Structure 1
C-alpha cells in the first residue's frame, strides 16, 4: 500500500476555509473596542463568552464569530462600499457557509483560546499567517477576486491588517469582483 503524499483539492479547500475562519476571528478580535477599536463590539472578550455560553452552550464560538463578523462587516462596508467588491468579512455566500462550518468545528479550547486571550498573542499569530503588505488608511485594493488564488489574496489581506495595526492606521483591504 502506497501513502498518498498529495493533498486533495477538497482537503486544500477545507484548509483555506479554516484559514479564513481563523483570520476572521483574529482580525475580528483585534478590531474590537478593547484592542484597536475599529468597531464597537466585544464579542470575543472573556465576558462575552461567559454570557453567551448559557444560550449557546454548544455553539458559543459560532455565536461570537457571527457577532464579531457582523460588526467588522459593517465597518468594512462603510469604508469599501457594497457592490462588486469582496473583503474578508464579505465573501461569496457559498464560501461564507463553508467558513461558518469550519468555525463550528473549532473550539476555543484549542490554540484559539490562547491566541485570542491578548492583543500580543493575536498579533503574533497574525504575523505567522500574513503575507507582508503595506497598509493605508481606508480602503485598499489588493487585486481581483479569484477563487483559484484565494489563499494568497486572504494572506495579503491579513498583511494589510497587520501593517495597519502596527502603524496605528485603519486599513480595509478588498478584492474587486467581476462586473458581469
Structure 2
C-alpha cells in the first residue's frame, strides 16, 4: 500500500472515531440521561418524527441535531472564537465528518443502534484515564487536532465527567 493510500485510511478511521465519540457524548448528555443539553434526538419519538421527512437518511439528521444541541451548550460555556471542542471543529474537518457520516455504512449502523450502554463502552474504549474536572477545561492547543490522540483525551474527560455526575467541557485553545 502506498503512503497516500495509508494516510487516507487513517483519516477515515479518525473520522469514524470522532463520529462515534460525538454520538456517545451526545447521547449521554441528552435531556433524558445526563441532562447537559435539552435535546432528545436519540429517542423513539425523534426517530418517528424525523424518518418520514428524511427517510433512510434520518440518522444523519438526528446526528446533526444532536451535534448542534451539544455545540450550543459547549459554546455558551466555553465561548466562541479562540477555542475549538468536540462539537466545533475546523470547518474542513466538519465537512469531512459530514461526508463520512453519509458515505460510511458502519457509521450509519452505529447511529441507528447506539444506546446508553454502547455509548459508555465507546468512551471506555479510549484507554485514557483522566481525573474529572467540572466546567470548561483546556486540554491543549488547536495544533493537537492534527494528531489522533486528542480523540481519546476528550473521550476520557467526558467519561470521567459522566461518571462523577458533573459537567465538563474539554476544549482546545488558540483557534
Instruction: Using structure 1 for the length normalisation, give the TM-score.
Output: 0.88
Structure 1 unaligned segments of length 5 or more: list them.
none
State the distance in 1 between where 2:75 and 2:55 align: 31
Contact kept in structure 1, 2:59 and 2:111, CA below 8 Å: no
Moved more, 19-28 or 97-106: 97-106
Distance 1:47 1:107, change over 3 A: farther
Distance 1:130 1:95, change over 3 A: farther
Aligned-residue CA RMSD in angstroms?
Answer: 1.9
CA drift of 1:148 comes to 2.7
Note if 1:155 corresponds to 2:152: yes
State the distance in 2 between where 1:158 and 1:126 align: 5
Number of residue equivalences: 172
State the distance in 2 between where 1:167 and 1:83 align: 29
Note if 1:110 corresponds to 2:109: yes
Contact kept in structure 1, 2:23 and 2:119, CA below 8 Å: no
Contact kept in structure 2, 1:56 and 1:63, CA below 8 Å: yes
Cα deviation digits, residues 21-52 of structure 1 (max 9, x gap): 11111111110011111000001112211211
State the distance in 1 between where 2:56 and 2:152 align: 30
| Secondary structure of 2:32 counterpart | coil
CA drift of 1:129 comes to 3.2
State the distance in 1 between where 2:131 and 2:157 align: 6
Note if 1:129 corresponds to 2:126: yes
Contact kept in structure 2, 1:24 and 1:69, CA below 8 Å: yes
CA drift of 1:123 comes to 0.7
Partner of 2:13: 15
State the distance in 1 between where 2:38 and 2:49 align: 17
Q: Which has the higher contact order (CA 8 A, sep 6+)?
A: 2
CA drift of 1:62 comes to 0.8
Structure 2 unaligned segments of length 5 or more: list them.
none
Note if 1:60 corresponds to 2:58: yes
Partner of 1:31: 29
| Secondary structure of 2:160 counterpart | helix
